[in-house]
Amino acid sequence: MSESKVPVTVLTGFLGSGKTTLLNHILTEHHGQRIAVIENEFGEVGIDDGLVVRAEEEIFEMNNGCICCTVRGDLIRILGTLLRRKDRFDRILVETTGLADPAPVAQTFFVDDEIAAACTLDAIVTMVDAKHLLAHLDEEKPDGVENEAVEQLAFADRIILNKTDLVSQEEVDEVERRIRQINTVAEVIPAQFAKVDLHRILGVGAFSLERVLESDPTFLSASEHQHDLTVTSVGIEADGDLAPDRLNAWLGRLLREQGTDIFRSKGILAIVDQANRYVFQGVHMLLDGAPGAPWADGETRRNRLVFIGRNLDRADLERGFRTCLVG
């Protein structure tokens, strides 16, 4: 790895695999490195800014578009801005949306002359959810539409097999077997709660352009890819406090009845009589929540939540959520 170039890690993985949890793990570890973070969210309402720990690192957000296509120009502009002050950080971490194809993101570091001269792509790290990966790999897509979960695995230099605590050892073995059918060379790292030894994913020099070109000679050529247009995002923002019993009943019923189609849900909520934000995250039918940062005196208690999935009814989701508001 060139001493003069800034190392870049691309963090990818399907919706709900644990990318933001890993990012927080990286930002809170005592590794002595200054890291600039570029975040990309698919949802039309940004949530991750409230989920990422605030450290000394610089964090740039790119919302409402996929980093591998519609907002790829934003990635190039942000990288250009960073490189003009490269003395302020040691490495860059790019966290993609869960629907991103990592190949066009990786292309950026080779086809743009300014970025290629200043950055080196260290590794593509793919997070996978041990409990839900097989369902996403087996999902039937319309003709011409790529399976993002497959693409993310195929392009990985390191694969973090996350949430192994949610499945049996037999299921872990089967998931690993399926991963190896797609990618035979990437190191697979089992994990719970995205806790991994950072020496195994940062500064590893694992990305090989020669290897990629052997398997895909057209890698450096401009190419079109089509997302599954049936997967959409519904974002909701509303001021005011929520009644916890109504909220629990609505979310429980929603995920029980529509959880198969809801790939990802997350939100930062204001619960009546609670001094702290309530942060919830869901993957299909699984839902988890915990207190977040406190609301400041005089701060508007604004709820933000997003659902990403298939067959989402915006009006029904907004109507159901507003029934949970107090008053």
Domain CATH for 132: 3.40.50.300
Strands, DSSP E only, in the chain?
6-13, 35-40, 59-62, 91-95, 119-129, 158-162, 187-190, 231-239, 262-269, 276-283, 286-294, 302-310
d(Cα 50, Cα 86) in Å, to the nearest integer?
26
Domain count, the chain: 2
Number of neighbours of residue 282 by Cβ within 10 angstroms? 22
What local confidence, expressed as pLDDT, does residue 108 receive? 84
Answer yes or no: is 270 within a domain: yes
15 and 132 in a single domain? The answer is yes
The number of helices, as runs of H, and strands, as runs of E, in the chain is 10, 12
Per DSSP, the three-state class of 272 is: coil
Answer yes or no: is 278 within a domain: yes
d(Cα 250, Cα 244) in Å, to the nearest integer?
10
138 and 259 in a single domain? The answer is no
196 and 314 in a single domain? The answer is no
194 and 267 in a single domain? The answer is no
User: Where in the sequence is the domain holding 189, given as residue range(s)?
Assistant: 6-215
199 and 94 in a single domain? The answer is yes
Answer yes or no: is 1 within a domain: no
245 and 277 in a single domain? The answer is yes
- Choosing from 215, 242, 261, the residue where a domain stops is 215
What are the CA-CA distances from residue 218 to residues 104, 214, 223, 285 (Å)?
Answer: 11, 10, 8, 39
210 and 277 in a single domain? The answer is no
Residue 298 zone, left/alpha/beta (φ > 0; ψ -120 to 50; rest): left
| Paired tokens of 200 | 């195994």
Strands, DSSP E only, in 211-285?
231-239, 262-269, 276-283
Q: Are 233 and 278 in contact (CB under 8 A)?
A: no
Answer yes or no: is 143 within a domain: yes
Per DSSP, the three-state class of 142 is: coil
Answer yes or no: is 258 within a domain: yes
Answer yes or no: is 134 within a domain: yes
What's the average pLDDT block by block, 10 residues per block, for the chain (327 residues)?
Answer: 80 88 87 84 51 50 47 76 85 85 84 88 95 90 80 92 96 95 93 95 91 77 61 88 94 88 87 93 84 91 88 93 92
Query: What is the DSSP secondary structure assignment for residue 197, as one 8-state letter?
Result: -
Torsion of CA 170, 171, 174, 178, to 10 degrees: -170
195 and 87 in a single domain? The answer is yes
CATH code at 298? Answer: 3.30.1220.10
DSSP assignment string, 57-107: S-EEEE-SS-TTTTTHHHHHHHHHHHHTTGGG-SEEEEE--TT--HHHHHH
13 and 149 in a single domain? The answer is yes
- Choosing from 215, 250, 272, the residue where a domain stops is 215
Answer yes or no: is 226 within a domain: no
210 and 235 in a single domain? The answer is no
What local confidence, expressed as pLDDT, does residue 51 receive? 47
56 and 177 in a single domain? The answer is yes
252 and 139 in a single domain? The answer is no
Q: Which of 41, 14, 11, 13 is nearest to 25 (CA)?
A: 11
Answer yes or no: is 121 within a domain: yes
